[in-house]
């Protein structure tokens, strides 16, 4: 009986998180209330509060699930890349497509109003993204696509700081500069700076492909 109740609770939690994620992605975090989530699910707000302490806990759980999903997708894409540059572009294309449908306010709102959830994203970057970037740099050097005199640890950290700068509303107001496009521009500038002549040929080919898809500008 207790096991059945646990399974029911787990199922309800997943339903709430799935609905909250859909609303957050479409409307942003601040525009979504607990009443909105309850109404969309056809359940009482009281039931949701029995599952989660508050909205901040829901935001945290959605953020954690997003990071785990990103890790799994990045690892899967890494296995299909023909080379280091191809892998980097595949990850960026996937990220750009995934974030196009997001509310432009979402990332900035989490950063500003939900620091505990934002720390999850930062830990994800500092642990997983940083390591994957260093792995990519080391692979690219071996393949002759990145300059052999770069330090993978320094360059990976430098690139993370560039991506962080793309979240600064002072320089990139979200209404004027869509987040995915800013990140794509940062990535192109970064990768061109470390590429060999062989690597630049691949980059030019990939950028032409993005232009054909209307993604590069």
**pLDDT (average), residues 60-84:** 93
Condensed to tens digits (0 to 9), the pLDDT of residues 176-201 reads 888 778 888 898 999 999 999 999 99
pTM, entire model: 0.83
One DSSP character per residue, 130-186 reads HHHHHHHHHHHHHTTSB-TTS-HHHHHHHHHHHHHHTT-TTTS-TTTS-HHHHHHHH
**Does 103 score more than 60 pLDDT?**
yes
Question: Reduced to 3 states, what is the DSSP secondary structure of residue 104?
Answer: coil
Report the pLDDT value the prediction gives residue 46, as an integer from 0 to 100: 94
Determine contact, residues 160/125, Cβ cutoff 8 Å.
yes
Determine contact, residues 47/26, Cβ cutoff 8 Å.
no
The angle at the Cα of 198, spanning 197 to 204, to the nearest 5 degrees, equals 85
Specify which residues 146 forms β-bridges with: 195
**Does 175 score more than 60 pLDDT?**
yes
**pLDDT (average), residues 136-148:** 97
**Does 172 score more than 70 pLDDT?**
yes
Condensed to tens digits (0 to 9), the pLDDT of residues 5-64 reads 566 788 999 999 999 999 999 999 999 999 999 999 999 999 999 999 999 999 999 999
**Does 4 score more than 60 pLDDT?**
no
**Topology given in CATH for the domain delimited by 55-212:** Tetracycline Repressor; domain 2 (1.10.357)
For the chain, give the mean pLDDT: 89
Report the pLDDT value the prediction gives residue 215, as an integer from 0 to 100: 55
The residue ranges of every structural domain in the chain are 1-52, 55-212
Question: If pLDDT is split at 50, 70 and 90, which confidence band does 2 have?
Answer: very low
CATH class of the 1-52 domain in this structure:
mainly alpha
Specify the range with the lowest mean pLDDT, choosing from 21-35, 92-106, 138-152.
Answer: 92-106
Torsion of CA 79, 84, 89, 95, to 10 degrees: 50
């Amino acid at each position: 009986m207790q096991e059945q109740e646990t399974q029911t609770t787990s199922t309800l939690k997943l339903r709430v998180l799935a609905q909250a994620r859909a609303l957050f992605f479409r409307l942003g975090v601040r525009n979504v209330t607990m009443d909105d989530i309850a109404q969309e699910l056809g359940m009482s707000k009281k039931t949701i509060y029995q599952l989660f302490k508050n909205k901040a806990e829901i935001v945290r759980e959605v953020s954690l699930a997003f990071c785990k999903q990103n890790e799994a997708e990045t690892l899967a894409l890494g296995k299909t890349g023909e080379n280091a540059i191809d892998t980097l572009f595949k990850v960026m294309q996937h990220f750009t497509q995934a974030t196009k449908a997001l509310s432009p306010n979402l990332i900035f709102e989490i950063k500003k109003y939900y620091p505990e959830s934002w720390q999850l994203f930062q830990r994800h970057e500092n642990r997983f993204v940083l390591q994957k970037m260093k792995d990519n740099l080391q692979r690219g050097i071996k393949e002759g696509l990145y300059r052999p005199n770069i330090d993978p640890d320094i360059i990976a950290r430098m690139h993370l700081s560039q991506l962080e700068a793309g979240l600064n509303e002072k320089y990139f107001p979200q209404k004027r500069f869509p987040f995915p496009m800013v990140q794509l521009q940062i990535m192109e500038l970064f990768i061109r700076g470390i590429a060999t002549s062989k690597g630049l040929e691949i980059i030019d080919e990939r950028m032409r492909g993005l232009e054909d898809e209307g993604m590069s500008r």
